[in-house]
Amino acid sequence: MTRTDEKVRYLPESQGEDLTPVSAASGVENVLRMLEGRWKLVILFHLFGGKVLRFSDLERAIPAISQKMLIQQLRQMEADGIVRRIVHHQVPPKVEYRLTDWGQSLCPALDALLKWAASRGAFEDVPTSGDG
């Protein structure tokens, strides 16, 4: 059983940079920090697909989040360059949120993580029980 061995690259090959285990780990860690907390990922997955949502749409889509927390999470994602806030100067003013192109392009990488998690059962040297 050779499984996925041929498809899998075993070392990061990021743009000819000289990555050491430490610099690679710290690069991934920076990304994880941007996604930390339950809400940012939920917001991301609501906005993937080029969706443009008003604040009230997001509130409706994520009823468990408080208004204050939603504002805070969106601000952080905006500061990180993932979310774009678009203000339409009209009366009353309309504010919409969408992902930046960069934020949008995170989708395949997160998809790869989901696929990796889902592939666990296909590997024979992994115990089947995931929880412990």
Which spans of this chain sit near a copy of itself (rule: CB under 8 A)? Answer: 3-5, 8-15, 17, 19-22, 24-32, 35-36, 38, 41-42, 44-46, 48-50, 61, 79-81, 84, 100-102, 104-120, 122-127, 130, 132
60 contacts 70 by C-beta, under 8 angstroms: no
Least distance in angstroms from the C-beta of 19 to a copy of itself:
8
Q: In terms of CB distance, is 38 or 88 closer to a copy of itself?
A: 38
Question: Which residue number, 92 or 121, has a Cβ lying nearer to a copy of itself?
Answer: 121
Helix (H) or strand (E) run with residue 83 in it? strand 83-88
Closer to a copy of itself by Cβ: residue 26 or 66: 26
Q: Which is it for strands 53-54 and 83-88: parallel, antiparallel or unpaired?
A: unpaired
CB nearer a copy of itself, residue 16 or residue 92: 16
| Closest separation in Å from C-beta 50 to a copy of itself | 6
DSSP for 21-42, written as a single string: HHHHHHHHHHHHHHH-SHHHHH
